[in-house]
Chain A
């Protein structure tokens, strides 16, 4: 995004240190940040700013997840910055897309437009800054996160996703998650 201005964040962040520190994370998130566990997010190629903020939200309990809160508790700011830049530097791998009929794809795209998903996540849902790369996430994870945003248990920095998910019905959540996980290239 051309408008991202200012100096680079976290100047001290060290990719190699991040690789070493990420060892234990690989058990669930995959050795290079591509998860094969349905409810666990892939971290490879996610924006560094997004990853770093998520670790802060995990540590402080704003993103309510007992396991991640415990794991993030001992991390220093430097650890978080290193982990974030290492995962951001890994190549994102798209999971096998959900098979959508042409009608489902069309209706799903209309929903994603109606709920302005592309405004922050990008036209290919590739993510930027705060907004994760949705195109690399699995349908189970996407579904659970939309539910948690709606329930107010998945803190987001400025409340944008909590606000956006309030009008979603359970059926819409499922439909949106399936579309995102099966979206044909734009």
Chain B
């Protein structure tokens, strides 16, 4: 035994001696590179760069988007740099967030045209937005703020009042999805600050607070990074998607759709991926059966963002209470997957159907846009935001 211990110590020292002489402890690689095994070190895969400008309307090939028979897609708005989450104001303003562009927009629908106003800029990855009682709530990496009475002040927006600012400041997976639950609480993710690591207790969860910033609590644990969730229109229970870790392989792990009907469930990160793959490094002493299994494996590297139950009346009757999943597509796979809006049919906690609703952003291995979130319009049509083209599409159905 002592001999084995000695060997381990020697090996450890051997490893150390390969490191540069005067250097301090090992520095973490950039988040996208972290967790890459030695045999993958020469992989040409790396994240897709976000364009600095939206595409001009004439450059957006909306006719390439394919939807089921009877549905039609049109370009609803363009010129919205990095358009992400969409949420409605009470008076009909569509608020749109961005991520790296640092902007929040307001779109005023003028019938045949749409006017886009930038109501906040220079923010810290303001992906999450939600609307309640006349105020727009904005989640940046490090804080959640509120703009009161915003719909009456689109041309001279009010100051951003801090709602909650004791949040981690880590940039990797630090951007948030934000939504009011049926309980009136504000839900958001605090992602793992890495590709794969044993995160601090404060990270890798979905959390909630009261609308005034009080009463912080963790709702779901072991969630690598969920940037999309919604509540079932009937059961009022939470469903969310999670991006799986990178550098484990082309086909594993699958991203997942999960169900968190009660507080405190653990969904496995970083010990277990997709419900049945123990992590090669972090699963020691743990077993996948300890954790909540995914409701659905949505596919490897699909990068699920938007989650939305359809409650409108424009689409055929069977679409009611189906879930739309907008999948932005990831970079950590040779053959790209995602770049689609998928549709999930639920029966209790079974998923009898998981099928494509809209596709065509991907052409072979090239893409011209990335569908990222959906939002229902009052008339039951469906908006799809595209953060790569900087545009919003509208899907309608004609009986």
Interface residues of A (CB under 8 A from B): 1-7, 9-12, 49, 52-53, 56, 60-62, 77, 80-81, 84, 107, 110-111, 113-116, 119-120, 129-130, 157-160, 162-164, 167
Contact B51 A9 (CB under 8 A): yes
- B122 to chain A: closest CB distance in Å? 4
**In the assembled complex, which residues on chain A have CB atoms less than 8 Å from the CB atom of B357?**
none
26 intermolecular pairs with C-beta atoms under 8 Å apart? A3-B46, A3-B48, A5-B367, A6-B51, A11-B56, A49-B49, A49-B52, A53-B100, A60-B122, A61-B122, A77-B53, A77-B81, A80-B53, A84-B52, A107-B21, A110-B20, A114-B20, A116-B33, A119-B33, A129-B49, A157-B50, A158-B125, A159-B125, A160-B30, A163-B171, A164-B27
Known: A116-B33, A120-B30, A159-B174. A52 touches B50 (CB 8 A): no
A167 vs B23: C-alpha distance when bound (angstroms): 11
Q: Which of B21, B33, B100 contacts A158 (CB 8 A)?
A: B100
Contact A52 B172 (CB under 8 A): no
Residue of A nearest to B54 (CB): A77
Contact B29 A10 (CB under 8 A): no
Contact A159 B52 (CB under 8 A): no
Interface residues of B (CB under 8 A from A): 19-24, 26-27, 29-31, 33, 44-46, 48-53, 55-56, 59, 81, 100-102, 121-122, 125, 141, 170-172, 174, 331, 336, 365-368, 388
Known: A56-B101, A60-B122, A114-B23. A4 touches B171 (CB 8 A): no
Q: Most B CB atoms within 10 A — which of A6, A116, A162?
A: A6
Interface on chain B toward A: helix, strand, loop, or mixed SS?
loop
- B252 to chain A: closest CB distance in Å? 20
- B392 to chain A: closest CB distance in Å? 18
**In the assembled complex, which residues on chain A have CB atoms less than 8 Å from the CB atom of B19?**
110, 114
The number of inter-chain residue pairs (CB within 8 angstroms) is: 109
Contact A164 B30 (CB under 8 A): yes
A7 vs B21: C-alpha distance when bound (angstroms): 45
A81 vs B125: C-alpha distance when bound (angstroms): 22
Known: A4-B49, A62-B122, A162-B171. A12 touches B26 (CB 8 A): no
A5 vs B48: C-alpha distance when bound (angstroms): 7
**In the assembled complex, which residues on chain A have CB atoms less than 8 Å from the CB atom of B388?**
6
Contact B366 A7 (CB under 8 A): yes
A2 vs B48: C-alpha distance when bound (angstroms): 11
Residue of A nearest to B33 (CB): A119
A164 vs B81: C-alpha distance when bound (angstroms): 27
Known: A6-B367, A110-B20, A164-B30. A159 touches B44 (CB 8 A): no
Contact A6 B48 (CB under 8 A): yes
Contact A115 B52 (CB under 8 A): no
A164 vs B368: C-alpha distance when bound (angstroms): 31
Contact A163 B170 (CB under 8 A): yes
**In the assembled complex, which residues on chain A have CB atoms less than 8 Å from the CB atom of B121?**
60
Q: Which of A6, A130, A159 contacts B171 (CB 8 A)?
A: A159
Contact B52 A9 (CB under 8 A): yes
**In the assembled complex, which residues on chain B have CB atoms less than 8 Å from the CB atom of A158?**
100, 125, 171
Contact A159 B33 (CB under 8 A): no
Contact A56 B171 (CB under 8 A): no
A84 vs B53: C-alpha distance when bound (angstroms): 12
Q: Most A CB atoms within 10 A — which of B23, B56, B172, B331?
A: B23
Q: Which of B44, B55, B336 contacts A1 (CB 8 A)?
A: B44
A77 vs B56: C-alpha distance when bound (angstroms): 11
A168 vs B43: C-alpha distance when bound (angstroms): 27
A116 vs B30: C-alpha distance when bound (angstroms): 7
Q: Which of A3, A12, A167 contacts B27 (CB 8 A)?
A: A167
Known: A6-B368, A116-B33. A52 touches B171 (CB 8 A): no
Q: Most B CB atoms within 10 A — which of A9, A62, A115, A167?
A: A9
